Amino acid sequence: MEKRYISKDPLSESSQFVRGVGPARQVLLSRLGIGTVEDLLLHVPRKYYDRGDLITISKVAPGKLSTFVATVLAASPRRLRGGRSMMTVVVGDETGTVNLVFFNQPYLEKQFKSGVRVLVSGEPVLYKGARQLVSPEHEIISGDLNRSLLDTGRIVPVYPLTSGISQRMMRKVISAALEKSSNSIRENLPSGLLEREGFIGRREALCQIHHPKSWDDLERARARLKFEEVFFLHLLLKERRCGFTRERRRPKVEPPYGMFERFLGSLPFTLTAAQMRVIGEIRADLEDSRGLNRLLQGDVGSGKTIVGLAAMLMTVESGFQAALMVPTEILAQQHYQRTQRYLEGFGLRVELLIGSNPKQEKASVQKGLGDGSVDIVIGTHALIQEGISFKQLGIAVIDEQHRFGVRQRATLGSGDVLPHFLVMTATPIPRSLAQIVYGDLELSLIDELPTGKRSVTTEIVSRDEVESVYQTVREAFSRGRQAFVLYPLVEESERSDLLAATQEFERLQREELSGFPIGLLHGRMSFEEKSKAIGLFREGKILGLVTTTVIEVGVDVPNASILVINNPERFGLAQLHQLRGRVGRGGDPGRCFLVTGEESGTRSRSRLAYFARVSDGFKVAEEDLRMRGPGEIWGVRQSGYPVFRLINPLSDNDIVQRSWSETDRLLKTDPGLENRENRVVSDYFRRYYKTKLELAEIG
């Protein structure tokens, strides 16, 4: 056999061998996700300084972004109450002095030795008549300025760092990486696409993103690299979808749907047009050989459950089993009871499977799943635990997808038959983000509420005015209405928060709500205690439920009309919206009170004000996304998807759409990526996305 010389691709070499790195720094770099030379090249600046913008201190003016070089004159750290600390650093140049202020960063004291030169960038404010910059961007300059900025040109990159790696060091290392390997950077997009989009080449883009000659050049580099980022992610997601359906058969679902018709007829209401439309979309998928892989979005209370049940029934009457998986035991029980009621007399075996079922019961359900005698099972993640196997699972409906990863979805299947998937979420995801995060799912939307526009008014109240809120609650109680009073529980292990709910319960019983029957519900209670509390509340035996976020997902008590949320600043807006959906489900309009604590800053105030003003869940979710960044929400990060370097799914919606159609076009004309001009794509895809592919599968 011919012996081929395999030249190692310099870009996939370890970054450890780049000049200035070495084994010790490599350990630090890997904390930033940098393992190879290419990772270094893709470690893009988070911002840039323009040297042309450097000013003297005399020109530093309040409210104006100011970048200047100055010398440290004095640094004075100070202890504040409550263990907080503050440091004032006086810096100056030949034209004057200005103060820099830092809170709770005592380690900075070591950096700001007097005489040290520092590059500062930030927006000054006036404080007691003096100019000061609070927590400005800063960079210690060692040696002369040009050397420190590495002669990067007029526009100087500023990188994301990790402790132990200075800005200067990062600039040096990335410059060295570029020097060493820029000649080996190869194109990874087809030439036709480059032409259509007017993109610059990859090598040029990677050089310019670090050392742009002008702001226009930088823009071109960013546009090209953003596109590349989302393009390969889309390919990955679509490839996975093809892989799924190519290798595994889907359960064959076909009419007649007698049970489904009977079910619709027996409902005490008629479905909304949106519900009917989505059921139609689902049915078309079920009957198609490619099967159902759908994400159903619909605001809280839009009636997703019925739609899910409809899909399950159609599949069951074609001879398969159906599973509904939900995130909490309470919710599982609620769905189970309701489903049993709906399907009474249908001759179907419907079962509940949750972790706290007695052993014997569990075993019997387990057996029924295995021998096919259970038609419909409703449960929690207990459904995907070891030892559970279905005879013929035809469909898995997953409620509130954001609690489940991709892997869990995959484990529901078995053998060469892949069940149909319907995932339902009330956290609306802007289309562009959905295409990134759930690129393997089609999207459906229920954009209509059954009872018309449900009104929940949201009011912000400060802690000192809370008495007026309880006045309202008491009035509602006297009219037989019910209320939730909610306390934050960020982490189940956060004992202090849990105590808050428990203590507050006792206090409310003694004080504000004394004389009224109220109950307590939180995540640390046993399942029996929880369902007892919920049961009493549902039956109206208790009027107030003091609780935590356990009520977030799907607890449905139509008579509850008031929700009091304490410390709302601790929650994301999308989560607050979910919570708000718990009230106003019956006849009475809902009222949601946000009782803000002392710690609430201006940023969180304006966030809550936005939330109080806007009732559209999509708008709220977009704002949430904008404020918190896409990595933070919907468990995107936890589920193993790549964190985005350049793309912002919201503001770059346009790029996401173009990439979506370019990848469609590519896979349609050349599914195996075998054409000559597409080799560059498949080479890159294989090389760099093998790891990511595994990541996404593991999810």
- Binding-site ranges for ligand ADP (CB under 6 A): 269, 271-272, 275, 298, 300-306, 426, 450, 554, 556
Which partner from the list Mg ion, ligand ADP, none does 5 bind, CB cut-off 5 to 8 Å by kind? Answer: none
DSSP state of 491: S
Q: Minimal distance in Å, beta carbon 534 to Mg ion?
A: 15
With b for 16 or more beta-carbon neighbours within 10 A and e for fewer, the 60-89 pattern comes to beeeeebbbbbbbeebeeeeeeeeeeebeb
Site membership for Mg ion, residue 617 (CB under 5 A):
no
Which partner from the list ligand ADP, Mg ion, none does 670 bind, CB cut-off 5 to 8 Å by kind? Answer: none
Closer to ligand ADP at the Cβ: 448 or 670?
448
DSSP state of 14: B
β-strand partners of 119: 69, 139
Which partner from the list ligand ADP, Mg ion, none does 301 bind, CB cut-off 5 to 8 Å by kind? Answer: ligand ADP
Closer to ligand ADP at the Cβ: 73 or 276?
276
Concatenate the DSSP letters of all residues of 37-51 into one string. HHHHHT---SEEEEG
The single-letter code of the amino acid at 387 is G
Which partner from the list Mg ion, ligand ADP, none does 343 bind, CB cut-off 5 to 8 Å by kind? Answer: none
Q: Minimal distance in Å, beta carbon 400 to Mg ion?
A: 7
SS (HEC) of 648-694: CCCCCHHHHHHHHHHHHHHHHHCCCCCCHHHHHHHHHHHHHHHHHHH
Look at the block and give the residue holding tokens 């009170």: 593
Which partner from the list Mg ion, ligand ADP, none does 77 bind, CB cut-off 5 to 8 Å by kind? Answer: none
Q: Minimal distance in Å, beta carbon 277 to ligand ADP?
A: 12
CB 7 within 8 A of CB 610: no
Q: Minimal distance in Å, beta carbon 401 to Mg ion?
A: 11
Q: Minimal distance in Å, beta carbon 448 to ligand ADP?
A: 9
Which partner from the list Mg ion, ligand ADP, none does 612 bind, CB cut-off 5 to 8 Å by kind? Answer: none
Q: Minimal distance in Å, beta carbon 301 to ligand ADP?
A: 5
Site membership for Mg ion, residue 298 (CB under 5 A):
no
Q: Minimal distance in Å, beta carbon 437 to Mg ion?
A: 20
Q: Among residues 430, 554, 568, 590, which is the contact residue for Mg ion, using CB under 5 A?
A: 554
Closer to ligand ADP at the Cβ: 275 or 458?
275
Cα radius of gyration rounded to whole Å, the chain: 29
Which partner from the list Mg ion, ligand ADP, none does 591 bind, CB cut-off 5 to 8 Å by kind? Answer: none
Closer to ligand ADP at the Cβ: 121 or 275?
275
Concatenate the DSSP letters of all residues of 78-116 into one string. EE-GGG-EEEEEEEEETTEEEEEEEES-TTHHHH--TT-
Closer to Mg ion at the Cβ: 618 or 641?
618
Residue 573: which of 612, 631, 602, 523 has the closest Cα?
A: 612
Q: Minimal distance in Å, beta carbon 346 to ligand ADP?
A: 17
Closer to Mg ion at the Cβ: 157 or 554?
554
Interface segment toward Mg ion; rule CB under 5 A; list 484-492, 502-510, 554-562, 632-640: 554-562
Which partner from the list Mg ion, ligand ADP, none does 300 bind, CB cut-off 5 to 8 Å by kind? Answer: ligand ADP
Closer to ligand ADP at the Cβ: 233 or 322?
322
Closer to ligand ADP at the Cβ: 202 or 582?
582
Which partner from the list ligand ADP, Mg ion, none does 547 bind, CB cut-off 5 to 8 Å by kind? Answer: none
Q: Minimal distance in Å, beta carbon 634 to Mg ion?
A: 16
CA distance linking residue 495 with residue 498, whole number of Å: 5
Which partner from the list ligand ADP, Mg ion, none does 10 bind, CB cut-off 5 to 8 Å by kind? Answer: none
Closer to ligand ADP at the Cβ: 339 or 366?
339
CA distance linking residue 699 with residue 642, whole number of Å: 10
Residue 331: which of 563, 531, 542 has the closest Cα?
A: 531
Closer to ligand ADP at the Cβ: 281 or 556?
556
Closer to Mg ion at the Cβ: 45 or 298?
298
For the chain, counts of helices (H) and of strands (E): 23, 23
Q: Minimal distance in Å, beta carbon 338 to Mg ion?
A: 11
Which partner from the list Mg ion, ligand ADP, none does 398 bind, CB cut-off 5 to 8 Å by kind? Answer: none
CA distance linking residue 646 with residue 640, whole number of Å: 18
How many residues bind to Mg ion according to rule CB under 5 A?
1
Of all residues in this chain, which one has the CB nearest to ligand ADP in the complex? 303
Reading the block at residue 423, the tokens are: 């995932």
CA distance linking residue 563 with residue 175, whole number of Å: 56
Closer to Mg ion at the Cβ: 379 or 554?
554
Torsion of CA 523, 528, 531, 536, to 10 degrees: -120
Of all residues in this chain, which one has the CB nearest to Mg ion in the complex? 554
Site membership for Mg ion, residue 430 (CB under 5 A):
no
Closer to Mg ion at the Cβ: 122 or 554?
554
Alpha helices per DSSP H over 42-124: 108-111
CA distance linking residue 120 with residue 133, whole number of Å: 9
| 19 CA to centre of own chain | 37
Which partner from the list Mg ion, ligand ADP, none does 251 bind, CB cut-off 5 to 8 Å by kind? Answer: none
Alpha helices per DSSP H over 126-247: 145-148, 167-181, 191-197, 202-210, 215-247
DSSP state of 557: -
Torsion of CA 600, 606, 610, 611, to 10 degrees: -10
Bond into 358 cis (ω within 30): no
Closer to ligand ADP at the Cβ: 52 or 452?
452
Which H or E run contains 352?
strand 350-353
Phi then psi for residue 417, to 5 deg, are -105, 125
Task: Give the sign of the dihedral formed by CA 486, CA 487, CA 492, CA 495.
Answer: negative
Q: Minimal distance in Å, beta carbon 296 to Mg ion?
A: 10
Q: Minimal distance in Å, beta carbon 444 to ligand ADP?
A: 12
Task: Give the sign of the dihedral formed by CA 15, CA 21, CA 27, CA 33.
Answer: negative
Interface segment toward Mg ion; rule CB under 5 A; list 310-318, 509-517, 552-560, 635-643: 552-560
Which partner from the list Mg ion, ligand ADP, none does 101 bind, CB cut-off 5 to 8 Å by kind? Answer: none
Which partner from the list Mg ion, ligand ADP, none does 517 bind, CB cut-off 5 to 8 Å by kind? Answer: none
Q: Minimal distance in Å, beta carbon 279 to ligand ADP?
A: 11
CA distance linking residue 346 with residue 334, whole number of Å: 19
CA angle 540, 545, 550 (to 5 degrees): 120
Q: Minimal distance in Å, beta carbon 495 to ligand ADP?
A: 31
Q: Would you tell me which residues interact with Mg ion (CB under 5 A)?
A: 554
